[in-house]
Amino acid sequence: MAKIKINVMNTLDKFERVFSVISLILYMNAVVPLFIIQGASEGDGVDLFAFNYTPLNLLFITNYLITLTLLILRWNKTLVFAINNVLFITLILMAPLSYVWSALPDRTMSASIGIMGSTMFGFYVATRFSFREQVRLLAWAFGVTIALSFVFIVALPKYGIMAAVHAGSLRGVWTHKNGMGKFMVLSNAVFLMLLQSNAKPKWYLWIGLLSSLMLTVGSNSTNALVNSILAITIILFLNQVFKLENDKFSIVAVLLVMFLSGLVITFNDIAGALLGLVGKDPTLTGRTDIWALVIEKIQQRPILGYGFAGFWQGLRGESASIIRALRWPVPNSHNGYLDFILQLGLAGFSLFLVIYWSTLVRVYLLLRQCFCLDYLWPLIVLIYLIQINIAEPSLLAQNDFFWILFTTIVVSASAEFKSVFQRRSITQVYQSKDISKKAATISS
C-alpha cells in the first residue's frame, strides 16, 4: 500500500513539473498565438485583432481549472500562504470589486476571471516550488521555446522571421520580435545564474545562454539588447558585492547611491544623448504624448480609477478621447504604472508599492543572510519589472507572464523570509540558553 502511495506521489510530482513548464510557455504567449495569426506581421495589412483567439482562451481556462484543483489538493498549505499574504490577496480582490465603480462593469467582470486565474497559477507555483526549483522550471521553459524558435526560423521562416515593417528580424515562436527579445532578457539571466551556481557548469547551460544571446541579437530589438547587457552586468556585479563583508558592503552601497543620485540629477541633460545612442527619439516613439493625455484622465478619477480593464476599450470606453486626440488606435498607456493607476487608482497603486517595497526588503535581507541563486533571482526580476514597465504594461495584467512572476516572488519571498528568520530566532534562543547554562556551571 505504501509503495502504491509513493508511486502516485511521484507521478503527481512529474505531472506538476511538466504542467508548470507548459503553462509558463503558454503565459509567454508563445507558439499558439503565432499559429492563430498564421504568421502575419506588423504592417502587412492584416488586422491582428480580427483572428479567432478562442483556442488560446480555452487553454487559459483549462490552466485555471487544473491550477485550482492542485491548490485544493493542498488546501491547508494554500490557506497558510494566503493568510501570510493578506495585502497581496486584498490587491487582487480589488480587481473584481472594482466592478462597483468601473466605467465598463461588464468588461471588468469578464477580465477579472483572467487576472484571478493567472494570479492563481503564480500563487500555485510559489506554494509548490522553491526559488531554486522555479529557476530550473524557467530554464526548461526557455530551453523549449529557444529550440522551437530555431526550428521555426529555419523550417518555417514565414512564422519565425518577421516581414513588412520589421522584415528580416527574428521572432521565433512569438508574434513580434520585441516579444521574443523581452523574454530572451530573462532567458539570458536564468542561464547565466545557473552557470554561476554550478561548480562544474553543464554544457547545455552554455548552449542555452549562447542561443538566447543569438536570438536577442537576431531580434534587432534595441531594448532587448540593452536590457540583456544591463541584466548580465547587474548579475555579475551583485555576485561580487553581496559576498563582501558588512563594512566593505556599506562603502559600495554608499558609492552606488551617490552614483544613482547623480544620474537622477543630470537625467534631463543626458537622456537625449542616451536615447540617441540606442536609436530612440526624445518622445520614446510617441509614448510621452500618450502619457500626457493619460495623466489628464487620471486626474479626473485619481482615487479608485476606472475599474480593472475599464479604460482601454477603443472608441467604446474612456479611451476614446485619447484615441481621437492622437488619431491612432492606442491600445494602452505604454506604461505599466499609469495603466495600474488608470485601473485601480492611487489607492490600488499605493497598495502595490507597499507590497513591492516589502518584498524587495525581504529579498535584500535574505541575500545578506545567505548569498545564493535562490535569493538573487527574485532581486533580478524585481529590478527588471521596474524597467520594462516604463515603456509597456506588465502590472496587474491578465494572463501576463511578468505579473505571474511578480506573484510567485511576492508569495515565495514572504514564506522564505518567515522560514529563515524564524529558524534564526529559534537558534539564537537555544544558543543563549546554552550560554546561560555554561555560565551557571562555571559560577557554581
pLDDT per position as a tens digit, 90-103 = 999 999 999 999 98
Residue 265: is its pLDDT beyond 60? no
Q: Mean per-residue pLDDT for 193-216? A: 87
Predicted confidence band of residue 240 (pLDDT cuts 50, 70, 90): confident
pLDDT of residue 67: 96
Q: What is the dihedral of CA 358, 359, 362, 366, to 10 degrees?
A: -170
What rounded mean pLDDT belongs to the chain?
84
Q: Is the pLDDT of residue 268 over 50?
A: no
The more confidently predicted of residues 81 and 248 is 81
For a pLDDT cut of 70, what percent of the chain falls above it? Answer: 83
> Which DSSP symbol is given to 51?
S
Instruction: Give me the phi and psi of 191, to 5 degrees please.
Output: -70, -35
Q: Which residue has the higher pLDDT, 142 or 289?
A: 142
Cβ partners under 8 Å of residue 1, min gap 6: none
Question: For the packed helices 105-128 and 401-443, what is the interaxial angle rounded to 10 degrees?
Answer: 40
- 216 pLDDT above the threshold of 60: yes
Q: pLDDT class for 40, splitting at 50, 70, 90?
A: confident
Round to whole Å and give the CA distance between 210 and 205: 9
Higher per-residue confidence, 274 vs 201: 201
179: pLDDT strictly greater than 70: yes
pLDDT digits (tens, 9 = 90+) for 369-397: 877 778 889 998 998 888 888 878 888 88
Contact of 349 with 337, CB cutoff 8 Å: yes
pLDDT of residue 279: 52
pLDDT for residue 93: 94
- For residue 370, with 0-12 CB atoms within 10 Å meaning exposed, 13-18 middle and 19 or more buried, which class applies? exposed
**Interacting residues of 416 by C-beta distance below 8 A, sequence separation 6+:** 130, 131, 362, 366, 374, 375
Three-state DSSP class for residue 331: coil
Lowest-confidence segment of 4-13, 208-217, 225-234, 337-346 by average pLDDT = 4-13
Residue from 80, 85, 79, 77 nearest 355 by CA: 85
Write down the pLDDT at residue 257. Answer: 53
Are the beta carbons of 183 and 190 closer than 8 angstroms?
no
* pLDDT of res. 271: 44
> What confidence score (pLDDT) does residue 123 get?
95
Residue 294 has pLDDT above 90, yes or no: no
Does residue 118 or residue 235 have the better pLDDT?
Answer: 118
More confidently predicted of 421 and 181: 181
Q: Say if residues 160 and 215 touch (Cβ distance below 8 Å).
A: no
Most confident of 246-260, 318-332, 403-417, 428-442: 403-417
Highest mean pLDDT among 6-15, 59-68, 241-250, 282-291: 59-68
Residue 421 has pLDDT above 90, yes or no: no
Q: What is the DSSP string of 259-298?
A: HHHHHHHTHHHHHHHHHHHTT--TTTTTHHHHHHHHHHHH
Q: What is the pLDDT of residue 276?
A: 52
Q: For the chain, how big is the Rg over CA atoms in Å? A: 24
pLDDT at 434: 55
pLDDT at 251: 64
pTM score, two decimals? 0.87
Amino acid 263: pLDDT: 44
328: left (phi over 0), alpha (psi -120 to 50) or beta: beta
Query: Is residue 277's pLDDT more than 70?
Result: no
Closest to 407 measured CA to CA, from 63, 125, 136: 125
pLDDT-derived band of residue 247, with 50, 70 and 90 as boundaries?
low
**pLDDT above 50: residue 28:** yes
Confidence band of 429 (pLDDT split at 50, 70, 90)? very low
